[in-house]
Structure 1
Amino acid sequence: MNKLKISPEARNDLVEVKNYISQELYNSEAAVNLIAKITKKIRSLVDYPEIGTPLSATIDIQTDYRYLVCDNYLIFYRYEDGVVYVVRVLYGRRNFIRVLFSNLLEEEK
């Protein structure tokens, strides 16, 4: 059976999503429902780790990241040697390339 690890950044992303929806949009129920939905998708990766789309098929950067779409959010993860490692959970309209690859973009300058 595969193992699941969630980065501190991804955990923080989930907290920020919940806080934004419940506090800024004043919809605690929607926040709880969305976090439950995202968590369910993340847990499905244990059984189906290759279900996500390879990110390199979408952008012109060679990477082993994969992603899943959950409503307006993208779940970025890596799968290697029986371990699914969730890296980030980001809003779909956010510049995820900059967030995920900021170190590479800085090196190119």
Structure 2
Amino acid sequence: MRFSIRITSKAIEDIRKAAAYIREDLLNPVAADHLLDHVTERFSSLSDMPEIQQLAADPVLRDKGIRFITIDNYIAFYRIDNESRIVYVLRFQYGRRNWLDILRGDSAPAPDQPSSPSI
């Protein structure tokens, strides 16, 4: 049975900002569209086998079951809820950013997020 994919509001915002940066600051709308296509493809691939990707190396994130998938120069962080068969995409960050501090700072869920996908 396939997993459902749920993208948190923070991850959606991250993806929008990444695409906007590429489109508006780098003036490359084709690359921005290409990134969005890759995001869609890679997130869709998580539906079949979400556990194929590695757990985060950081012990705090690993203990919370946080996994990651690379998409071009970005890293998407997610957590699997096996009981409800849902993959929660938590954040989407540029690979060279200090994403560990960003993820560790996400200790409380946003109002529109259920408590289960918080990091």
Normalized against structure 1, the TM-score is what? 0.87
Percent identical among aligned pairs is 33
**1:19-55, Cα deviation, whole Å (9 max, x unpaired):** 0000000000000001111121011101111121101
SS for the counterpart of 2:105 is helix
SS for the counterpart of 1:93 is coil
Match of 1:21 in 2: 22
Runs of 5+ consecutive residues of structure 2 not aligned to the other structure = 108-119
SS for the counterpart of 2:51 is coil
Q: CA deviation at 1:74?
A: 0.3
Match of 2:33 in 1: 32
Match of 2:102 in 1: 99
Residue identity in the other structure for 2:59: D
Change (3 A) 1:95 1:47: same
Change (3 A) 1:103 1:19: closer
Residue identity in the other structure for 2:10: E
Aligned pairs for 1:62-73 (under 5 A) are: 62-73=63-74
Among 87, 90, 93, which residue is 1:90 paired with? 93
**1:62-107, Cα deviation, whole Å (9 max, x unpaired):** 3210001111100100001211000011000111111111266xxx
Output the CA distance in 2 between the equivalents of 1:66 and 1:16.
Answer: 22
SS for the counterpart of 1:39 is helix
Runs of 5+ consecutive residues of structure 1 not aligned to the other structure = 105-109
Normalized against structure 2, the TM-score is what? 0.80
Structure 2 residue 62 is matched with structure 1 residue 59: no
Output the CA distance in 1 between the equivalents of 2:30 and 2:52.
Answer: 28
Output the CA distance in 1 between the equivalents of 2:23 and 2:38.
Answer: 15
Counting matched residue pairs gives 102
Change (3 A) 1:47 1:103: closer
